[in-house]
Chain A
Amino acid sequence: MSLKAENLSKIYGSGLLGGGKCIFRDVSFELEPGKTFGLMGPSGEGKSTLGRIIAGLESPTAGAIHFKGSPLSGMKKAEYATFRRRVQMMFQDPTDAFNPGKRIEHSVSEVLKLLDTPGTERIRRTKEMLKTTGLPEEVLARYPAQLSGGQLQRLALGRILLLEPEYIVLDEPTSALDVSVQAQILHLLKKVQDEQGIGYLLISHDEAVVRFMSDSLGMLENGKLDVIEA
């Protein structure tokens, strides 16, 4: 039932002539349902790249991702579609998380349409999502530019939750927010994890945030991952 990274390596610019830049090598760890794996490390060490690889948005140069025992590279179309919905990623900048030209309602209902949810059910689930994230219904009629960073980050999480994910890669989810809003988002993430048993890969610079959230902790430095607390 876990999401496993096995000997992942990423080399940029590796071609026929060689001479690429190695970002990280032989990185292995495991995400478990209802648990958080915290990933720390200096800037430019490839934390976000590793996050994108885990979320299936980028391919590793070597190594494999195993979702429920099957390797990602050998998955059939239906299996990959399941992986695509079950493993989600939440990005750093909440102001960039929604299409600026569309109302929030459109961006949310689009996800439910993707899941073939009927009309009445869509309204119920949207209301439920707003309740979970603690947002008023008025936000649906707004454009992203009319909402605050905290509200947008809650909505980004809410929209992901509509897909009923099993794992979420959180790429510095609070670094663009002020301290009071940071705390609210972290508590919301904790609450959602307790209720739905979602496994998180939390990428952050902030040691306090990582220690508050994580069950195990890894440091990505000099291209290697050291699991410092399990």
Chain B
Amino acid sequence: MMQEEAYVRESTIQESTIQGNTIRKNIIQENARQWKGFLAHNINLDIRRYERNLKRFNRGGLFLFTFFLILALLPVLFAPYSPTERFMPYEAPSTAHLLGTNDIGNDILSELVYGARISMMVGFASACISTLIGLMIGLFSGYFRGTLDELLMGFTDVVLIIPKIPLIIILGAFLRPSIWTLILVLGLLSWESIARVVRSKTLQIREAGYVKSARCMGFSSVHIMASDIFPNLFHVLLPKFMLATASAMISEASLSFLGLGDISMKSWGIMLSFAFSRGGFIRDMWWWYLPPGICITLCVMSIALIGFGFEGKEKENGKRGVDAE
């Protein structure tokens, strides 16, 4: 009897142990499933958040760029004084002069606002020149191929290996320093990457059925390039143009800082150069050298962000196989 009771108790304990183990196993499995779901959910959320942030950055870039553009187009609205008006030199920031005055008594905030126009003009004008040259060379090279392609791409390779900044310094030293020289030099020496991108896209488009049909129908090469190829290059040109603008602005600031800019047209780079050479750094006048530096950084960053945004869109379109529109 006693033995039977003991056996029953033992088997009940064994059963409950097995049940307990199964339950524990189920709980562990359930927990693992939940963790998996949680992680997957969170990773997904992170990806979504990353995409959202990227778009937010592009939007931020556009907002910043619009701000600088308005500053450049309508400086009268933002500058408290004329940039050439004189006050007491080396004044610290005050209510009358929010960013103080420089060595000759010009209001630094007004100089900064008017400087936007010069810096952006140099950037955009030289980017226009380089984009136009890059477009022409890439388009002709890709469309006509053969000997012309080899000649043009050989020339592009030669320009590509020339060290730009030293050459610009030499040219800047020999030519009369003027903003137009700077625009021309920067524009003439930064078209190679645009030409290469345009050429490869042209090579792709020239094999499209609609281009072959147009050739077969007797349309001229100029008509085909202008009407069928160029509109489909626009979405690769735009990001390149923006990035060329940003790069030209940086080059302009560097050259102006080295004293190769046009001192009669005060850009942000010239402001930095003056702050360096006329006692701004020695006197620790941060309100003189920091604002133009920040403006150059933010403006270049905003333009680059817009460029990256366009590039990203182009890549997305490429993945979806969308050629135009």
Contact = CB atoms under 8 A, between A and B. Distances in A.
B218 A57 contact: no
B325 A57 contact: no
Interface in A138-163: 143, 145, 156, 159-160, 163
- Category for how many chain A residues contact B: 20 to 34
Contact of B213 (A56, A91, A145): A91
B212 A91 contact: yes
A163 B307 CA distance: 43
B325 A88 contact: no
Contacts of B209: 91-93, 96-97
Contacts of A143: 325
A56 B227 CA distance: 22
Q: Chain A CB within 10 Å — which of B218, B227, B325 has the most?
A: B218
B123 to A, nearest CB: 29
Contacts of B324: 99-101
Contacts of A92: 209
Interface string A65-90: 00000000000000001001100110
B213 A89 contact: yes
A55 interface: yes
Interface string A158-170: 0110010000000
Interface in A168-202: none
B235 to A, nearest CB: 10
A177 B219 CA distance: 28
A88 B218 CA distance: 10
A114 B323 contact: no
Given A101-B231, A101-B325, A143-B325, A96 B217 contact: no
A215 B257 CA distance: 79
Interface size class of B (residues with CB under 8 A): 10 to 19
Nearest to A143: B325
B217 A88 contact: yes
A132 B324 CA distance: 30
A81 B209 CA distance: 21
A114 B219 contact: yes
Contacts of B213: 89, 91, 97, 156, 159
B210 interface: yes
A200 B166 CA distance: 63
Interface string B290-325: 000000000000000000000000000000000111
Contacts of A99: 210, 227-228, 231-232, 324
A207 interface: no
Nearest to A101: B324
Interface string A101-112: 110000100110
A84 B217 CA distance: 6
A57 B215 contact: yes
Contacts of B232: 99-101
B217 A111 contact: yes
A219 to B, nearest CB: 25
Nearest to A52: B212
A85 B231 contact: no
B319 to A, nearest CB: 16
Contacts of B325: 100-101, 143, 145
A111 B231 CA distance: 18
B40 interface: no
A89 B210 contact: no
Contacts of A107: 210
A98 interface: yes
Contacts of A98: 210
Interface string B212-234: 11011111000000011001100
Nearest to A162: B217
Contact of B218 (A91, A93, A114): A114
A114 B217 contact: yes
A11 B216 CA distance: 22
Interface in B182-220: 208-210, 212-213, 215-219
A179 to B, nearest CB: 22
Interface in A109-129: 110-111, 114
Contacts of B227: 99, 110
6 contacts: A88-B216, A93-B209, A96-B210, A99-B324, A101-B324, A114-B219
